[in-house]
Structure 1
Amino acid sequence: MNRKNFINTVAAASAVSALGARAAGHAPKSEFKISLAQWSIRNLHRGKEPGADLLDPLDFAKYAKNTCGIDGIEYVNSFYFGKEGDATYFAELKKRAEGEGVKSLLIMCDGCGRVGDPKEASRIETVEKHKPWMAAAAQLGCHSIRVNAGSTGSFEEQQKLAADGLAKLADAAKPYGLNVIVENHGGLSSNGAWLAGVMKMVDLPTVGTLPDFGNFKIDRKTGEEYDRYLGMKELMPFAKGVSAKSHAFDAEGNETKSDYFRIMKIVADSGYRGYVGVEWEGSKPGATEGILLTKALIERAVAEL
């Protein structure tokens, strides 16, 4: 099946699924919307997607809307390194998103230091490194920046350090009208109980989580992994966004490691209503196919709520 036929088939199947759900009296929850995490198209931006042209990061919104039928986007700062502080560039990025009728939701910030660094001077420096991205997020009309709660030390020590760093970030983000949200993203941040504890320590309305369906690996070397369903339950009370991570699909269109139907019930039961972000991290199929499969699976899971 060629790419065009594949896309048409997935779109048709998704529409039939939604109509069937309505006919059965289980209409999809209208409060849920689907967004696209820019990491899903990393290979398109890097020119490493077989058979596809290089995609300019300025055209992220156009791709999301016209190729994937998605009208909410989540930026990744690494695709805009070197543009920090360039208000003209981000004005153009905003113009293009608005021109497509696409809503900018957040910027995922990596490479800005450790929020929970043991040295206070380093935590302060980390805040400074995030400020240009706060300015960009505010200019784009985003509601949040996503940060990483990296640290070292004991379980409790890292909680205290991460909480301190997040409080500092929240204070810096206040003039921009932004939330600061933490993803379970490796190390103790992938331990749901640990990160939920950090949220309770910070106890600020502008600090929350971005629970990721599949990022519960605590130690890549040992393979230690936290229970993803327990982790989602622990992190959802603080969620200001949700990331639907996907790596591979079976013949029925289900993700091979995460039960989306079970997870979306956890999401819904928490009271969260809002965007669920597609984050395709697999290698096969390609970016567009992986995104559309993830989108269709989310729609099926929401339709059964």
Structure 2
Amino acid sequence: MKSFSLSRRAFFQSALLAGGTALLTPMSALALPAREIPKYRISLAQWSLHKALFDKKIDNLDFAQVTKEEFGIDAVEYVNQFFFDKAKDTKYLDQMKKRASDAGVRSLLIMVDREGKLGDPDDGKRSQAVDNHKKWVEAAAHLGCHSVRVNAASDGTWDEQVARAADGLHALTEFAEPHNLNVIVENHGGLSSNGKWLSGVMKLIDDPRCGTLPDFGNFRVSKDEVYDRYTGVKELMPFAKAVSAKSHDFDDDGNEKHTDYARMLGIVLDAGYHGHVGIEYEGSGMSEPDGIRATLRLLERVRAERIAASKPSRDEPVHAADGAKKR
């Protein structure tokens, strides 16, 4: 553990030096005013540190502590690839749960990959994929999460894929219900990156425990087709139980180059969503810690702007009824 701690410290120190003075701005300077109700909360998706995790610079068991100590974030979204053989290891899961609790970090969900197509055209393979996902539902429940994020991969015509994905998702959702878990689908390639298609799957399933995890950036349907990200998120938000703030590159003003965060978060908030928005940095132009911090600053800035815009001006009268509602 001692050698690992040194390795982790060196990793973050090198990232800080590489990032320059921009990273020295304390997060407290961007914090919400005391007792202010947030428009949304911020979490960290484990994939944001996938390079460090795959390179063993960070251990999965330390992810929650790293999230809190290095970034001041108190909620995490796990990725099953970083503890792929531990889904049924309750002792290991107990360690994860304790590490998160000790750090004051809430475990929100597990992103599940590499367990088969829930919309597979072959009935047997689709059923096997459902079974493969069940252990992650149990693991998520053990950790105190509210959801498992899955994929709705399928093949066939539009309507065939709707029916097949709905069948697999419905079966998994039925299994998840006694565990008090949600099954949520991310736009993650293929027709799942078409907001109209995925929202159609949700309407067909029509189960409050089966929802979506809209990702700001995953709207490439195929090599030749990219779905409009703003339209897609708007179509998926009525079913959202989590949101992924994908980021890659930033301009000199700290804005994400590919997504207008103010516009996108406006869509999120206008849908009535006030849950966690998860940072998922996937860029290569800066280190992972730098990218996480840049995304965090942007999310905090947009949130502060939305709060300021929603407050009455000094010249605007506040009616007694309005004041009563705010107490």
Q: Scaled by the length of structure 2, what TM-score is found?
A: 0.85
| 3-state DSSP of counterpart to 1:304 | helix
Matched, 1:45 2:53: yes
* RMSD value, Cα: 2.0
Partner of 1:65: 68
CA distance in 1: counterparts of 2:290 and 2:20, whole angstroms = 7
**Residue identity opposite 1:112 in structure 2:** E
CA distance in 1: counterparts of 2:100 and 2:36, whole angstroms = 26
Runs of 4+ more than 2 Å apart: 1-19
Unaligned runs of 5+ in 1: 48-52
CA distance in 2: counterparts of 1:280 and 1:11, whole angstroms = 19
State the shift of 1:12 in Å: 2.7
Instruction: Tell me which structure has the larger Cα radius of gyration.
Output: 2
Matched, 1:256 2:269: no
| 3-state DSSP of counterpart to 1:66 | helix
Counterpart contact for 1:105–1:143, Cα < 8 Å = yes
**How has the CA–CA distance of structure 1 residues 78 and 116 changed in structure 2, closer, same or farther, with 3 Å as cutoff?**
same
Partner of 2:172: 169
Partner of 1:278: 279
CA distance in 2: counterparts of 1:83 and 1:102, whole angstroms = 20
Higher relative contact order (CA 8 A, sep 6+): 1
| 3-state DSSP of counterpart to 1:104 | strand
1:103-156 Cα offsets, whole Å, 9 max, x none, are: 000000000110111122212111110111111100100000000000011111
CA distance in 1: counterparts of 2:67 and 2:128, whole angstroms = 34
State the shift of 1:4 in Å: 3.8
**How has the CA–CA distance of structure 1 residues 185 and 28 changed in structure 2, closer, same or farther, with 3 Å as cutoff?**
farther
1:189-240 Cα offsets, whole Å, 9 max, x none, are: 0000000000000000100000000011111x32x10000000110000000
Unaligned runs of 5+ in 2: 1-12, 307-327
1:178-217 → structure 2 map (5 Å cutoff): 178-217=181-220
CA distance in 2: counterparts of 1:85 and 1:2, whole angstroms = 36
May I ask how many residue pairs the two structures share in their alignment? 293
Matched, 1:98 2:101: yes
Q: Scaled by the length of structure 1, what TM-score is found?
A: 0.91
1:134-173 → structure 2 map (5 Å cutoff): 134-173=137-176
Match of 2:127 among 120, 124, 127: 124
